[in-house]
Amino acid sequence: MTQVVRSAKAFAPMLTLALSLAASSAVMAQVPTGAVIPRPAAVTPAPGVFALNEATVLITPRGDAEALRAATYFADLMRRTRGLSLTVREGEAAPGAVVFRRDLGAAADAYRLDVGPRGAVIAAGDFGGLLYGAISLWQLATTEAGQGAATIPAVAVADAPRFGWRGVMLDSARHYQSPEFIKGFIDWMALHKLNVFHWHLTDDQAWRLEIKRYPRLTEVGGWRVHAGAAAQKDIDPATGRPRLYGGIYTQDQVRDIVAYAAARNIVVVPEIDVPGHASAAIAAYPELGVTDVPGAAVPAVPADWGVYPTLFNVEEATLVFFENVMDEVVDLFPSEYVHIGGDEAVKDQWKASPRVQERMRELGLADEEKLQSWFVARLEKRLNDHGRRMIGWDEILEGGINPSASVMSWRGVEGAIEAARLGHDTVMSPAPVLYFDNRQSADDGAPGRGFTSTLRDVYSFDPTPDELTPEQARRVLGVQGNLFSEHMRTEDRVEYQAFPRISALAEMAWTPHARMDFADFRTRLEPQLVRYRSLGIDYATSGLTEVSATPPADGQRRYDHQMKLCSAALPLSLIDDAPLEGERPALLMDILNPCWIYQSADLSKGLRFEAAVGQVPFNFQIGADRDKIRLGTPRTPAGELEVRIGGCEGEPALILPLAEAAGNDGITTLSGQLPARAGRHDLCLKFTQKELDPMWGVDWVRVSDPAKREED
C-alpha cells in the first residue's frame, strides 16, 4: 500500500534537517533563492554558471525506474515551458549532464541540488526527493522568461519539507470537474511540491464515485437540476423535464487518476461523508434515511447550498451498506487515510425519530453525539481491517473517537489544538484563511464567500500555533487548503480561486518557519506567474496588488464589492441565475440582511441614481436563520428598490419599482433622481419583496450629475 502520508513521528527527521539547515548560518537567511517556490531550507551560491541546452543529457542510475520517471518529468517540463528537447538515458555521470543520484540517508522528500559550470546533480533517497529536486532545477532554469537554452547560476541547495501532509482539497460534489481537469490540477500541485489531493466526492448535492454494488448512488445521486427559474425553464426535450446537471467518476477513471497522481508523488485521499451531507445518497436509496420523521424524505438530489438536516439512519443494514462501500473505496484508493467527513451533522432528525431513539437505548448510548461516534467507529474498524486509517473533520471529536483516528481542523485552529492535546494526529485546514472559496482581496468581484483570504493571509498562517507544546506540535501532520466549489461553477473558476494562493500555501507547508519572508516570496512569485502562463494556468490577478479600499468616485460605477454591506453575518458573492451558460455577474450580499451602503455621495446638486440589479435563487439551507431575514413590505406586486439617505431607517428618498427587472433573468438597470441635500451622505439600498426566493441583489451603482452624460 502506498503511504505518502505518514505519522507525525515519521516527519520528525525531515523537519529536524530543514530546521538545522535553516539555522546553520546567520548569513544563510540572506542568501538569494533564485525563483524557487517553495523557498528551500538552505541555499549557497557558488561561482560560475551552468548552460542547459539541447546538448544537455539527463542521466539516471541503471535500473532505477523512479529516477528515470523524475528525469523524464523534468524533460517534459523543459519542453513545455522552454521548447527544449532533452535526452534521458541510463548510465554513468558525464560532464555537462544533469545527474540523478540516490542518497540513501536522505529523509522523505528531501533532496540536494548542486549546480556548477560542469553540470548539475540531484541526490535524494526516494522518488519524492528526486522529483522535487528536478522541479527546483526547472524553476531555476525558468527564472527568466523565454525559449530555448537557459543559463543557471551555480548554487548548492539542501532542502526538505517542514510537513509531510501538504494538501489541497477539491470539492467535486457541488460542481463536477472532468477527469482531464483533475489530472491537470494534480500536475500543477506537483509543481508546488504538494503531495496530498483530498478529493471530496460525496455531499448533499451529488454522489460522484461509482460503487459497483450500489449503482443508483451515481445513476441517481450524480445528477440534479440547477437552482433558479432559468434552470426550471431549461427543458430537456428527451425527458420533457428540466435538464439534469452533473457527472460521475467511474472506477476505471478513478484508478487512472490515482495512478497519475502517484507518478507525481501525490496520494489521493477520498472523502465519503457520513452521517450528514447525505441527501444525494438517500435520494438514490431512500431506506438509508430517517424514514419515520415527517418531511425527512429526499425525493430528488437537491441544489441548495448550506447545511441540511438530512442524516443517514443507524440501522444495521445502513452500517453494512457503508462497510460495503468502504470495501470498494479502499480497493480504488491505496492511500493510508480515508476521510469520512463527520461535519455539520445536525441531529434534529435523530432526535425526532422514535426508531433512532430506540436504537440509542439498544446500544446504551447517552446522546446523539455518542451515536455519531458509534457510527463513525464502525466504519473506522472496517478501514482498520484493511490496514487504513480514518481522518475526519473536527466535529468527530465531539462524541469521542478512537486513539488511532486523525482530525482535520476546519472551524479555526481549535479542533487541531484539542486533537493534538488528546494525542491525535491532526491536519490544519482552518476557515476562513485556508478556504480558497473566499475572495482574494477587497476588490475581487469573483463569486465565492464574502470574506477575504489574501495571498499574505495564506502565507502568514502558522500551522503550529503557540498554544501547542513541542510534543503536541509534532502531532500536526501538516496543512491543507480547501476548494469547496458551491460558487465555482466552472473549471476556470477553480483555477482562478486556487492560483496563485497555492504558491503561498506550498511555501507555508514546506519552508522552515524561520525562512519565511513575504517580501522575498512576492519577488519570486513574478517568474512563477510567467510559468503559470506558459502552462496555461488561469490564475487570479485581483490579489496581487494590495490596494486601498477607496471606492470609485461619484460618476463612476461602484460595484457591490466596492460598497459596504450593512452587516456581515453570512456574506456571499453569488452568481446570478441566468444565463445558464457563459459569464454571469456575481452579486455580493449578506443573505441574512440584504442591504448595501453607497458611502459619501455628494448630493449638493441632486444626483441621477442608477443601479444594476438582478436576482439569485435563495437556495440556502440555513435552518431557523431563514425566519430572521426581514424584507420590506412591497407597494407593488414585484417589489421595489428603496434608497434612503444618511441611514437605513425612515422614509426612502427614492423608490424604484422592480416590475421591469422581475421579468428579466439577467441584469436590469434602474434609474431615478435623488433630491439635493447639502454635503456628502451615505445611501442605504434595500429591496422590498413578498417572498424570499428569488433574492434581489445589486451589481453596481452610479450616482452622477444629471447634466452630464457619463460613459459606461
Q: pLDDT by residue (tens digit) across 397-435?
A: 998 888 889 999 999 999 999 999 999 999 999 999 999
Query: What pLDDT is stored for residue 709 in this prediction?
Result: 60
Q: Examine the pLDDT at 28 and tell me if it is beyond 70.
A: no
Q: Write down the catalytic residue from 344, 369, 398, 520.
A: 344
* 418 noted as active-site residue: no
Q: Are 205 and 174 in contact (CB under 8 A)?
A: yes
Alpha carbons 44 and 28: distance in angstroms, whole number: 8
Q: Examine the pLDDT at 6 and tell me if it is beyond 50.
A: no
pLDDT band at 33 (very low <50, low <70, confident <90, very high): low
Q: Write down the catalytic residue from 175, 192, 277, 681.
A: 277
Where is average pLDDT lowest: 18-22, 47-51, 322-326, 573-577? Answer: 18-22
Query: What pLDDT is stored for residue 23 in this prediction?
Result: 38
Would you say the pTM of this structure is higher than 0.85?
yes
Instruction: Give kind and range of the element (H or E) at residue 123.
Output: strand 119-124
The one-letter amino acid at 555: G
C-alpha cell at 675: 433630491
Q: Examine the pLDDT at 22 and tell me if it is beyond 90.
A: no
Mean pLDDT, residues 506-534 taken together: 95
Mean pLDDT, residues 324-350 taken together: 97
Bigger pLDDT: 28 or 678?
678
Mean pLDDT, residues 283-289 taken together: 98
Share of the chain above pLDDT 70, in %: 94
Alpha carbons 21 and 42: distance in angstroms, whole number: 6
Query: What pLDDT is stored for residue 435 in this prediction?
Result: 98
Residue 145 CA from chain centroid, whole number: 29
Q: Examine the pLDDT at 24 and tell me if it is beyond 90.
A: no
Query: What pLDDT is stored for residue 711 in this prediction?
Result: 57
Mean pLDDT, residues 201-209 taken together: 98
pLDDT band at 2 (very low <50, low <70, confident <90, very high): very low
* 203 noted as active-site residue: yes
Alpha carbons 513 and 460: distance in angstroms, whole number: 10
Alpha carbons 240 and 218: distance in angstroms, whole number: 22
Query: What pLDDT is stored for residue 570 in this prediction?
Result: 95
* 277 noted as active-site residue: yes
Where is average pLDDT lowest: 211-225, 277-291, 694-708? Answer: 694-708
Q: Examine the pLDDT at 363 and tell me if it is beyond 50.
A: yes
C-alpha cell at 593: 440582511
Q: Examine the pLDDT at 54 and tell me if it is beyond 70.
A: yes
| Cα dihedral sign, 705-706-710-712 | positive
pLDDT band at 605 (very low <50, low <70, confident <90, very high): confident
Q: Are 569 and 592 in contact (CB under 8 A)?
A: yes
Q: Which residues lie below 8 Å from residue 592, measured CB to CB, with a gap of 6+?
A: 567, 569, 570, 622, 625, 628, 629
Q: Write down the catalytic residue from 114, 203, 336, 554.
A: 203
Mean pLDDT, residues 673-688 taken together: 96
Alpha carbons 553 and 598: distance in angstroms, whole number: 11
Q: Examine the pLDDT at 254 and tell me if it is beyond 60.
A: yes
